[in-house]
Amino acid sequence: MKKLTGQLYLITIILSLIGLVFIYSTSAHLSMERYGHSFFFAKRQMMWIFLGLIAQMICLKIKLDFYKKYAIYLMLLNIVLLLIVLVPAFSFTAGGARRWIQLGFFRFQPSEFCKLVTVIFVAKMLSLKEIDIYKKWRIFCTLFIFLIGTLALIMAERDLGGTIILSSTIFVMFYISGIQKRYLLGCIGLVSPVVYMAITKYAFRMERLLTYLNPWEDPRDKGYQVIQSMIAISRGGGLGQGLGQSLQKYDYLPESNTDFIFSIYAEETGFLGALILIGLYLYLFSVALLISWKSEDYFSRYLGSGLTFLLAIQVFIHMGVSTALLPTKGTTLPFFSFGGSSLLSNLIAVGLLINIDKFNRKKYQI
């Protein structure tokens, strides 16, 4: 099983380094305009990769039982941080969304780490099979109170994408655990009205949905970003325009180093490059699931599966938005897009997966 850990490390490093190259490619001109040199964003990403690898090492030093034992306390801390985001004095607002805590020159996005903590918490609760979680209403109600509260706080930050990613991950974890169908239907019944109200409450979300159905109806405004993304991908052809040769990154496609980095990658590397990248992600997820399902410990199995699908759903949404298969939504591509909080949380997720593999090897002396 040591081979699985090595493969997981290798794929993560490869994705992070390729992402670093394309962050430089997409943002060099912007960095030059704002800061007088072309490496500002690339240097910031290198710093976050370094911090993420340190965080991975810390995760490996902490026994897996610690996360299980203190899951509820981590969840409470998680909720406190989400509440702090809603306090204007401590938060930072961008694009009409208040999602960051501002600490001097440093800011971070609690909702990114909230996803990890929530997966840990759900894995712990679902692993309590020995006390028959399906008949213990107290435990079941505790689980749902925490989940609904967390999702509501993320929604309050106007982060519909984060809410959908997290709720989808939780649903998959419930399904994998073998939970009874009526509880799954209950989950859908509770979350669906919240998502519906979140979409219909804000006009810009309805506009995004209508634009998704027909972006060419308003190509210069609401449909602009989607159309420019499709143009970037179509320009890539089979083999791409070549590294650094993208045209769309020059202020044609907004957020080209974050929410639409896959589009620029496809433009520069073509259909072949896109297939290779998708293949790397699929290989990463298959190794992660293999680590998870080799574990006979319920907590490890559910935690590993939850972390894997948390990353996989983000990849699916990012690529789906870039190719106009899904409505526009601000979702980063794991290990690839520029962004400190998202990259750090993704690398910590991999650290937890490696910890699960380490736990399995110690327990079963493999």
Listing DSSP states for 325-362 in one string gives SS-----PPTTTSS-HHHHHHHHHHHHHHHHHHHHHHH
Q: Are 333 and 314 in contact (CB under 8 A)?
A: yes
Cα–Cα distances in angstroms (integers) from residue 92 to residues 5, 100, 121, 191, 245, in the given order:
37, 5, 27, 27, 34
pTM, two decimal places: 0.92
Per-residue pLDDT at 142: 79
Helix (H, G, I), strand (E, B) or coil at 248: coil
Q: Are 338 and 282 in contact (CB under 8 A)?
A: no
Per-residue pLDDT at 20: 96
What integer best gives the mean pLDDT of the chain? 86
Helix %, strand %, coil % of the chain (to 5): 75, 5, 25
Per-residue pLDDT at 96: 58
Per-residue pLDDT at 75: 93
Per-residue pLDDT at 27: 93
Per-residue pLDDT at 100: 73
Compute the residue count for the chain.
366
Taking 50 as the pLDDT cut, the residues of the chain under it are 366
User: What digits encode the pLDDT tens for the residues 106-119?
Assistant: 777 888 899 999 99
User: What digits encode the pLDDT tens for the residues 122-170?
Assistant: 999 888 865 555 556 677 777 888 888 888 888 888 788 888 899 899 9
Per-residue pLDDT at 165: 92
Q: Name the nearest CA neighbour of 176 among 76, 338, 259, 300.
A: 300
Structural element, H or E, at residue 32: helix 2-35
Cβ-Cβ contacts under 8 Å for 279 (sequence gap 6 or more)? none
Per-residue pLDDT at 178: 81
Per-residue pLDDT at 214: 79
